[in-house]
Chains A and B, each alone.
Chain A
Amino acid sequence: MNAIKQKDLILYSGLIILGLAAPYLFSAFKVQLTYLCVLIVLAMTWNLQGGEMGYNSFGNILFYGLGMYLTASVQVGMFFPLAEWTESGGEKTFVHTTSQYFQGIGVGLLVAAIIPTIVAGAIGYAILGLRGHYFAICTLGLGIAAGEIAGGIEIIGAGQGFTTPPFPAEIVDPEARGKFFYFLSFFVLVVAFVFVKYIYGSRFRLILNAIRDNEDKAEAMGIQTMKYKIVGWMCSAFFCGLAGGIMGGLIGYIDSTDVAFDGREMGVFMVLMAILGGKGTLWGPIIGATLFHFFKEGLWTFILGWQYVALGVLIVVIVVYFPEGLMGWLREKYPERFGEVIDEKDRKSQVELK
């Protein structure tokens, strides 16, 4: 037992060192690495309710977009009149000082984590009574509706979009912005991982699994499934909000349907990544997100114009050949490496029975 823990320790410290050194080792790739961190956070937390609880949500993009708008709005609104900032797409320009910028984004991210969590609780209360496909379709509508609504609210720029505050000009190092957003996203990634890992060792996960495997039985066992379903979704929303806030600052321009409530891309990607890696596993979404990001960044430019066709093919391949994801596939091939003991006698007798 101790030996395994030591191995884990080496793995984790290795990953953290790699994570901390990455922006220096691959200086030119900072933005892509930041994206990777955010994608992993999204996939990992989607997996909490999509993989563990069995409630496939396409609505997590709602919390992501909400977090994005909230961070930017708070960052601006704390120091300047928000309406004037966004009027005619930033007709008037105010400049944040260095301390204002960081204070703003700090408070903004805090708000971006809390409010989506509350919203998830409220919406969850209303719609988590739906099961299976009905829940999935209902959440599909959430992101689309939010995008259209946000596109009509003047104070956050409406159709003009919202230009987020530029990185303070007093910091002259052009690399500083990239580093700041990378470390911010890496920090969120670490927190999210620790949190998810903690959940994996807790009774909470077993309850979520029970809901996934048979909700009626879980209820019959005396579990208040509704309560746990809502809490499970709120956990996802918390990190989605944070991820959105970071992305908003990084991209620098928020558009209602293409950047914030981007269900067509981010909303689908987070599900795809989790499924690619293997939903319902700790490492699956992480591996899935990493592979997906590499596929996207590496290959897409070589197949200009056809990348979405390639993506479609990829989805088909995943669903047909790896329905359980890469981790699930590995697990089936090498069950003993995942600590599963197979009783040969039992297996044989089952084969004979068939």
Chain B
Amino acid sequence: MNKLVKIFTIFISAITITLASISSSFAKVEGEYIVLGSAISLTGKYSSNGVHTQNGYNMAVERINNMGGVTVGGKSYKFEIIYYDDESNPKRAAQLAERLIKQDGVHYMLGPYSSGLTKAIAPVTEKYKIPMVEANGASRSLFTKGYKYLFAVLSPANQYLEVAIDLAVEKNGGKPVRIAQAFEQDAFSQDVRLGILDAAKRTGSEIIIDDKLPKELNDMAATLAKVKATKPDVLVVSGHTKGALTAIRQISEMKVDVPMLAMTHCDAAKLSKQHGKKSEYALCASQWHKNLSYKDKFFGSGKKYDKDFKKEFGYAPPYQSAESSAALLVFKDAFERANSFDRDKVRDALKTTEMQTFYGNIKFGPGGQNVAKPMILFQVRCKGDACENKVVAPTKWASDKFYHPIPKWSERS
């Protein structure tokens, strides 16, 4: 027992010393670097989109640093990001945000991927009054909480597919449609669902199937069997990257005929590449498309961004990367307008942001959401075996006509 007590004493003093030695805090601005912090999903169910987000951030950091950096008080600074892996888990994300702020001394944050994780981090940044520009938390409820330090460069999630229902009604000669929908059990997808419910109410449409699907969506055969039996006019599916892939895989396997298929995350899932012709005619909501005519001096146009991104990372940028890059442009702009590293001054500058980036116009509403940018819809179209995403709505940017209804599987080659 004697020795045991000794062992414990040594053990505890060891812990004390270790903790005390690493307890020092770093500064928000170190030398010529402005340090930003971000918890990002590098593992777990959001890992692919987490990497898209990280690539977007990295690309913008590199570009801004190479093009003169951020000028504050007549001196030029460079961006640097501290990353942690949140494992796609809100609990971990909240803890890491705390760690970034308290231990790493980060004073400015970039958002994580997905609404759920942003929901977990926002209370922390709010508590410590840390401005956070996020690019991947679209859930409407983020913007109704009265958060003062949260700014999102994207449109809220409920707007994602509302337009698709309007489009369906229009194609149906203005008559209400019958909707089948299946959404993953997560904050973002459930918000997309709320948008559809609103749209259905507005147009008097009827929802005949309303399924909730588990996270890590790998199977939705039960829903599709119902769709086959009830023949709805529109099928809506949302469940991040895996949801999009699963839907297309099983729809083509089961040969489910539905006149219109509306989804989210088609470009993040690289649907047109992975599934080729099977994904043809899928209608997808997107925050951004390379063909839009926005411009800025760092990335040029969307097309140029697309090209540069492909060169750097070897794949076409999904909108998750584009919006993440835009978040850094917003930060740069705010720092320069605030001309200070004072957190509240930076926040006030963020509040009055009004700028155009290659990704779209950015202006923050009272809740922190971007109110200056509409959602767009694109449709996967194929020529031979090469498939591409073509913008079909809104009409201002539409490069192609919306193809409706989707031909039956028996008529498709």
Complex Cα distance A184/B278, Å? 55
| Residues 112-127 of B at the A interface (beta carbon under 8 Å) | 116, 119-120, 123-124, 126-127
Verify B127–A167 contact, CB threshold 8 A.
yes
Known: A88-B191, A93-B145, A338-B4. A159 touches B185 (CB 8 A): yes
Verify if A349 is at the interface (C-beta below 8 Å from B): no
Verify A253–B15 contact, CB threshold 8 A.
no
Verify if A158 is at the interface (C-beta below 8 Å from B): yes
| Residues 219-271 of A at the B interface (beta carbon under 8 Å) | 247, 250-253, 255-259, 262, 265
Which residue in chain B gives the minimum CB-CB distance to A286? B8
B368 to chain A, nearest CB (A): 14
Verify B127–A174 contact, CB threshold 8 A.
yes
Verify B19–A253 contact, CB threshold 8 A.
no
Interface size class of B (residues with CB under 8 A): 35 or more
**Among listed A23-31, A108-116, A185-193, interface-contacting one:** A23-31
Which residue in chain A gives the minimum CB-CB distance to B127? A174
| Residues 335-394 of B at the A interface (beta carbon under 8 Å) | none
Verify A32–B95 contact, CB threshold 8 A.
yes
Q: Chain B: interface secondary structure?
A: helix
Verify B102–A88 contact, CB threshold 8 A.
no
A36 to chain B, nearest CB (A): 10
Verify B89–A89 contact, CB threshold 8 A.
no
Of B12, B128, B185, the residue contacting A15 (CB under 8 A) is B12
Verify B102–A31 contact, CB threshold 8 A.
yes
Verify A251–B139 contact, CB threshold 8 A.
no
Complex Cα distance A15/B5, Å? 11
A-chain residues with CB within 8 Å of residue B90 when the two chains form the complex: 161, 251, 253, 255, 258-259
Complex Cα distance A77/B152, Å? 31
**What does the 1/0 interface line of B139-175 toward A look like (CB < 8 Å)?**
1110011100000000000000000000000000000
B-chain residues with CB within 8 Å of residue A8 when the two chains form the complex: 5
B-chain residues with CB within 8 Å of residue A174 when the two chains form the complex: 127-129
Verify if A55 is at the interface (C-beta below 8 Å from B): no
Q: Which 10 A-B pairs have the closest CB atoms?
A: A159-B185, A89-B141, A252-B123, A253-B120, A28-B102, A151-B185, A31-B98, A337-B3, A159-B190, A90-B141
Mind listing 22 A-B residue pairs with CB under 8 Å?
A7-B1, A35-B95, A89-B141, A91-B140, A92-B144, A158-B212, A159-B186, A160-B141, A161-B116, A163-B123, A167-B127, A174-B128, A251-B95, A252-B123, A255-B90, A255-B187, A257-B185, A258-B90, A258-B215, A294-B18, A307-B43, A307-B87
